[in-house]
Amino acid sequence: MITSGYLIGQIIDEFSSLGEQAKLRNRLGLSDISVFSENFFRDILNIIEGYKLVNTNEDRANEPGVDLGDEVKKIAFQVTTTKSSDKVKNTLKKITEEQLKKYDRFVVLILGDKQSSYEAVTTALLNRAVSEISPDINFDPNKDIIDLTDLARKVIGLDLESIKSLYRLIRDQMSKVKIELQVPDQDGNYEVNGYKLWEDLPSPKLGNGYNFAEWEHSHSKPTKPPQDDVDAAKEAIQTLSKRLHKLPRVTREFLAVLFERSEVHNYRSRDRRSLFLPTVEKTYPDARSEIELLVTENLVQINRDPVDYDDHGLIPPEIDLCMCVGHEGIKLSLYDFVTEKNLSFRHVLVELDFSQF
């Protein structure tokens, strides 16, 4: 059983790792963070403190002095990787009269470690005519400047359900936050970028349709297939390849396994192969989303027509491998062609190798 101590340890470790990354940004003078990162800490503060903070920058870009605000509890936060006194003073200087009407307390959250003291901030608060900080702002540098270590201390005192919620949030989103806070190299490139996260698209290999047309024709007449049949097979192969090319690799792999495990059940259709939907959903964790993509491309259909089978009751819904690309042969005989020619469904459907067609 996973204990609260284990979860707290994982949370604190992630805070520590994030703090080190934020320190590097601070040393390089990179104080800006994305709205995504702001929202991440909004959710963390809401869990830890029970606030209902919203991101003030979502309605108005770069709201001065404030990133997050809870108008009910009248508290606002500035979230930054910069721990300097100048940053804190500049934040307080930017607080507007409108914000003073909404919030009684303003807090600066340092992503990383705060300074050991903020004497310059205390001096600025004592000389507001010079520092241009509004006299209506109540700010205590000892209480209103917090860092990730302060948040970690508060985690220890949370109830178990809050700890679990915080752990799930960090588990699900921390990797993206770290990517958002990455520091670019001297050429402006990042270690992880969105372009590199996209999988490479396969380069389809297309046959001219003759082999498939000849194979299909040989079942009825031992003569060469008419050119019209060859052209029709070629067009169908191109259509099928284009539809598969749109799909993620894992979805194409899912389809290949459907073909490998399919059967002719003879319950609803004697022409096409199928699989029972409940079996697939229990066998593959994300089956529903993959099936939805395949249905959208008209490569499979879900057949729910009610069918009684002897004394066994209703037959469950089936995934019908219809492959509707406007060609009856591809629709009904793709499985037979691939298996009789000793081809691989994984090569054909995943790597889009239709060269033997």
pTM comes to 0.56
What are the pLDDT digits (tens) for 241-272? 999 998 988 999 999 999 999 998 777 777 78
What are the pLDDT digits (tens) for 53-82? 999 876 555 567 788 999 999 999 999 888
Contact 229, 217 (CB under 8 A): yes
Bridge partners of residue 68, in order along the sequence: 55, 77
Q: How confident is the model at residue 308 (pLDDT cuts 50, 70, 90)?
A: low
Distance CA 304, CA 311 (A): 19
Cα three-residue angle 314-319-322, rounded to 5 degrees: 125
What are the pLDDT digits (tens) for 83-133? 899 999 999 999 999 999 999 999 999 988 899 999 999 999 999 888 999
Distance CA 302, CA 21 (A): 49
Query: In b/e form, how buried is each residue of 288-321, taking b as 16+ CB within 10 angstroms?
Result: eebbebbeebebbbebeeeeeeeeeeebebbbbb
Q: Which residue has the tokens 């996260």?
A: 197
